Structure 1
Amino acid sequence: MIDPGLFLTFVAAVTVLMLIPGPNVALITANSIAYGPKYGLLTVAGTSSAMVIQLAFTALGMTELLATAGIWFEGLRWIGVAYLVYLGILQWRAPAIDLTRTRPQPKSPRAIYLRALLVSLTNPKTLLFYGAFFPQFLTTSGDVATQVAILSTTFLVLALLVDGGWALLSGRARGLLAGRGQLRNRISGGLLMGAGTALALLRNK
């Protein structure tokens, strides 16, 4: 099974990452503000469908890789720790994003779903992120395939909850979304760096 400390850190880190506005969040917010929460949730369905496909590919590849990685396993996890801290630094220094400037998609359920699926599938950083992020939270003492399956399911559930929250709240929080972007970046960046530091400390136990 997964180490409880690592799992809780995983949940915290994923939640922070999901709260950081990116292409998916921008599209969810734009459609929700323009057409209402129903269309925002439809956008979430599209981005989450893409996530299922990406997580499946990542899980299959990672299980195969980590089963044969041997002595490289711990090094790979330390690379993931460094990557998480690096993401935090980038987020801290990133320019503020105005989510209300993203244009909504045409008001067609099919178009909104397919566009959300395409936006999420074609993000070139996603698979790299999954590949670098997940190994940090795995241990060689348990079955790797089971651990990857649990983490993937947890990731998807958190994505549905957080992205669904963006869809439901964006219509009411338009003014808040438009401003205070720099403060949001500093908070999320600091939390990511803190998560990376926590992982480093867990590795030393």
Structure 2
Amino acid sequence: MLEIDSLIAFFTASILLALIPGPDNIYVLTQSIMQGKKAAFMIILGLCTGLLFHTLMVVIGVSVIFQTSLFAFTILKIIGAIYLLYLAWQLFISSKSELKFNKNILVDYKKLYLKGIFMNITNPKVFIFFLAFFPQFTDEKIGNINLQILILGLLFIFSTILIFGLIAIFSSNLSKFFTNSILAQKILNRLTSFIFLALAIKLLITKQ
């Protein structure tokens, strides 16, 4: 079973990631403001269904990687580290996000749920990120890697529901905060960029 320290570190990183203004949480924010909290929660459920799909894909992918050659493991490790470094750099240099509101007043909850799923599962960056992020918090010595990743995936989904749900509930206040506070966004982006940097370094020194 995963150690409590690893779970706390993973959950903290997941919370920070969910807080960073990006396409998903900004879309949840705008839907909550323009179409109501129920619409936002349908989007959240859709996104998290997509996250579950990516988690299962990572479970399959990682199990294959651990059973293949050292060369394949090394190549994937390098690609994952480069991607994490890229994310770290993008966050470090990023400026204030601009919110663009959708004026559509028709609410089709089923369509919003399916759209959330589609937005997530059609984004290959989510799978690549999961593949680079999740293994950092696993330990082959303490048990089944696939089970550990599944647990982390469920914890990541919980953190997403928690933060995105709070965004939906407190949408009006969060809207003003994120649109008016450049400093708050910059601090959050810089902090998370250093987390990505540390994870990239850790991934590079990880052995098969």
Q: State whether structure 2 residue 23 is matched by structure 1 residue 28.
A: no
In the other structure, the counterpart of 1:167 is 168
Cα 1:15–1:48 shift into 2, 3 Å: same
In the other structure, the counterpart of 1:19 is 19
Cα 1:46–1:153 shift into 2, 3 Å: same
In the other structure, the counterpart of 1:47 is 47
Q: Is the 8 A contact 1:138 1:148 kept in 2?
A: yes
In the other structure, the counterpart of 1:151 is 152
In the other structure, the counterpart of 2:177 is 176
In the other structure, the counterpart of 2:102 is 103
SS for the counterpart of 1:141 is helix
Q: Is the 8 A contact 2:63 2:146 kept in 1?
A: yes
In the other structure, the counterpart of 1:94 is 94
What CA distance in whole angstroms lies between the structure 2 residues aligned with 1:7 and 1:125?
Answer: 23
**How far apart are residue 126 of structure 1 and its match?**
0.8
Q: Which moved more, 1:145-154 or 1:25-34?
A: 145-154
**AA aligned opposite 1:150:** I
**How far apart are residue 74 of structure 1 and its match?**
8.2
Q: Which moved more, 1:191-200 or 1:118-127?
A: 191-200
**How far apart are residue 188 of structure 1 and its match?**
2.8
| Mapping of residues 107-118 of structure 1, within 5 Å | 107-118=107-118
Q: Is the 8 A contact 1:98 1:181 kept in 2?
A: no
**How far apart are residue 47 of structure 1 and its match?**
0.9
What CA distance in whole angstroms lies between the structure 2 residues aligned with 1:178 and 1:76?
Answer: 38
- The one-character-per-residue Cα deviations of 1:61-89 (angstroms, maximum 9, x if unpaired) are 21222244568768866875665454233
SS for the counterpart of 1:172 is helix
- The one-character-per-residue Cα deviations of 1:21-68 (angstroms, maximum 9, x if unpaired) are 222112111110002212111111111111111211111221222244
What CA distance in whole angstroms lies between the structure 1 residues aligned with 2:181 and 2:37?
Answer: 23
Provide the aligned length of Structure 1 versus Structure 2.
203
Cα 1:11–1:4 shift into 2, 3 Å: same
**How far apart are residue 195 of structure 1 and its match?**
6.0
**TM-score normalised by structure 1 residue count:** 0.82
* % identity of equivalent residues: 23
SS for the counterpart of 1:148 is helix
What CA distance in whole angstroms lies between the structure 1 residues aligned with 2:138 and 2:83?
Answer: 16
Cα 1:128–1:90 shift into 2, 3 Å: same
Q: Is the 8 A contact 1:81 1:136 kept in 2?
A: no
Q: Is the 8 A contact 2:84 2:199 kept in 1?
A: no
SS for the counterpart of 2:198 is helix
What CA distance in whole angstroms lies between the structure 2 residues aligned with 1:149 and 1:129?
Answer: 15
In the other structure, the counterpart of 1:133 is 133
**How far apart are residue 137 of structure 1 and its match?**
1.3
Cα 1:67–1:138 shift into 2, 3 Å: farther
What CA distance in whole angstroms lies between the structure 1 residues aligned with 2:113 and 2:30?
Answer: 13
What are structure 1's unaligned runs of at least 5 residues? none
What are structure 2's unaligned runs of at least 5 residues? none
Cα 1:118–1:185 shift into 2, 3 Å: farther
